[in-house]
Chain A
Amino acid sequence: MTVVDDPDLLPPPRRSFYQRHEALILGGSAIIVALAAWEAMWQAGKISPLFFTGPSQVVERFIAEWNDGRLKQDMLYSGRNFVIGVGLAIAAGVVLGVLIGWYRRLAMLVEPFLTALYSTPRVALVPLVLIWFGIGMWSKVFIVFINAFFPVLMNTIGGVKAIDRDLLRAARAFCASDSQIFTTVIVPGSVPFILTGVRQAVALGLIGVVVGEMFGGSEGIGYMVNYGGQTFQTDTVFLGVVIIAFAGIVLTWLAERLERHFSRWRPER
């Protein structure tokens, strides 16, 4: 074997299929191995169906519930509350965040309230929300909203505050009106921050959906998990958890894609 000292003389490295997809292959295999081991234990009867369950049982449960029609209904209910709550949170968080980030005096006025609300665990507000909105759909939406609102708001404020002063000066020198400064500097400059907030909002909104449904009502994936637990249907609990986890993975992935797309002008870090 010859030793090549100069890295420039090395032939361009040819990366194999494995090298190109190493993370995916290793991660995927780990999941498959873990599931197989779990299923083997389940099949061997080493797992009590009262306390735990097996992968095949979860799949069976899924098919049964799906054919029953109830699961689809629960998913739609939770999904709709999630979309409305997160949507409202993004809209309100961006608008208020831009205003608070830009107007110093407004920030001084509202910051005490924001700090107080931000540091309160949102779950503590759930009973209050039930008093206000009852146990129907709007209390669920509101719980999603208060969970998802703060990350959007805080990140948007941070984004506006981080705007390069030189850009504002340049815009002013070229006779930009206030509204032109908003639309051409402040909003686009905050977009990467806003999308970071959206990614966090998606994750926290999902928690909001589940928590909201556990506290009342009789619909949704959170209710399904709670009910399953109270009636010792461990496989139902697992099915709900798997659905929530899957939704979380997909939504976070989508939000990350969006974030990266809108940050492509940023220098590589």
Chain B
Amino acid sequence: MIKLQIDRLTKRYYVERDGRQVLALSDVSLSVDAGEFVAIVGPSGCGKTTLLNILAGLLTYDDGAVAIDGDAIRGPGLNRAVVFQHASLLPWRTVAGNVRYAMELQKRFDAAAMRERTDAFIRLVGLAGFEKHYPSELSGGMQQRVNLARALAADPAVLLMDEPFAALDAQTREQMQAELLKIWSHARKTVVFITHQINEAIYLADRVAVMSPRPGRVKGVFTVPFERPRTLALKREPRFLEIEDAIWRLVEDQPQPLDIAGTD
């Protein structure tokens, strides 16, 4: 069953400095099934963050269509939650206050349910005992756990993740990836996960969509054949490396050289 449908989506930016129009997304099409985990990879400037912002309802688009359960996306909605690249936690709220925040704004749960869900999702992301801590007292990895718990507690139909582990050190990132899979196996949400790390995408996702820059478009979609649950050891298996290599070749096969440095 298709949960999220992206159909020939096109987005133009108007660059004020030189009066040019930039085609950020050009005819992007992708459909995501209910309960599916899809990763979108691509180099900086391929429009993957633009795409996520459109899915979140934070950006408008020029052509094409995006719909969840057949309803066109026309702004932020209760059926989506975003896990941001920067944790974006309210610094004056404690961990519990931040996890409750999205539920408070969306007003879908009563006070008792919010309390219960706050506790449950803090436990799920492994932060029991840190309820009363402020974000400034947490490590980057712990802040991202709060970011994730906040989104999950809002009970979205689709979870949008915007390079949530990009700012973490390599070790913490791997740990968080494994943890995310464990959490996802309980929550079973439809997930769109943006990343520039190919092995992260393969390890996590059911399918990996590869995007290319200028203009941003979907170049190919890979189905990841590995069974779940997956362990981090999977990343060193020959078949994993083969897929990684194939995706790399697709990413690199483009007229302009890759811009590895910098983020978008």
Contact = CB atoms under 8 A, between A and B. Distances in A.
Given A169-B88, A174-B81, 11 more contacts: A166-B86, A173-B57, A173-B58, A173-B82, A174-B82, A174-B105, A174-B154, A175-B105, A180-B105, A185-B90, A265-B135
Interface in A162-194: 164, 166-167, 169-176, 180, 184-185, 188-189, 191
A170 B91 contact: no
Contacts of A267: 136
Nearest to B91: A265
A173 B92 CA distance: 19
Per DSSP, are chain B's interface residues mostly helix, strand or loop, or mixed? Answer: loop
Q: Which 8 A-B pairs have the closest CB atoms?
A: A267-B136, A170-B88, A174-B102, A166-B88, A265-B92, A173-B82, A265-B134, A174-B105
A105 interface: no
Contacts of B135: 265
Contacts of A167: 88, 90
B105 A266 contact: no
Contacts of A189: 90, 92
Nearest to A181: B105
29 contacts: A166-B84, A166-B86, A166-B88, A167-B88, A169-B58, A169-B84, A171-B105, A172-B58, A173-B81, A173-B82, A173-B84, A174-B82, A174-B101, A175-B76, A175-B77, A175-B78, A175-B106, A176-B105, A180-B105, A188-B90, A188-B92, A189-B90, A264-B134, A265-B91, A265-B92, A265-B93, A265-B135, A265-B136, A267-B136
A195 to B, nearest CB: 13
Interface string B67-79: 0000000001110
Given A173-B57, A174-B76, A176-B105, A266 B88 contact: no
Interface of A: 164, 166-167, 169-176, 180, 184-185, 188-189, 191, 264-267
A180 B134 CA distance: 21
Given A171-B105, A173-B57, A174-B101, A191 B92 contact: yes
B109 to A, nearest CB: 13
Interface string B96-112: 00000110111000000
Contacts of B134: 264-265
B56 interface: yes
Nearest to B85: A166
A169 B56 CA distance: 10
Contacts of B84: 166, 169-170, 173
Contacts of B80: 173
A169 B162 CA distance: 13
B interface bracket (residues with beta carbon within 8 Å of A)? 20 to 34
B91 A266 contact: yes
A187 to B, nearest CB: 10
B77 A266 contact: no
B160 to A, nearest CB: 8
Contacts of A264: 134
Nearest to A185: B90
B76 A184 contact: no
Given A180-B105, A184-B105, A266-B136, A173 B90 contact: no
Interface in B143-189: 154
Nearest to A189: B92
Contacts of B77: 175
Contacts of A265: 91-93, 134-136
A150 B77 CA distance: 40
A185 B91 CA distance: 10
A188 to B, nearest CB: 5
A175 B154 CA distance: 11
Contacts of B91: 265-266
A175 B56 CA distance: 10
Contacts of B90: 167, 184-185, 188-189
Interface in B24-80: 56-58, 76-78, 80
A174 B88 contact: no
B94 to A, nearest CB: 8
B82 A170 contact: yes
A182 B189 CA distance: 31
A267 B136 CA distance: 5
B187 to A, nearest CB: 17
A172 B154 CA distance: 14
Nearest to B154: A174
Given A191-B92, A266-B136, A173 B86 contact: no
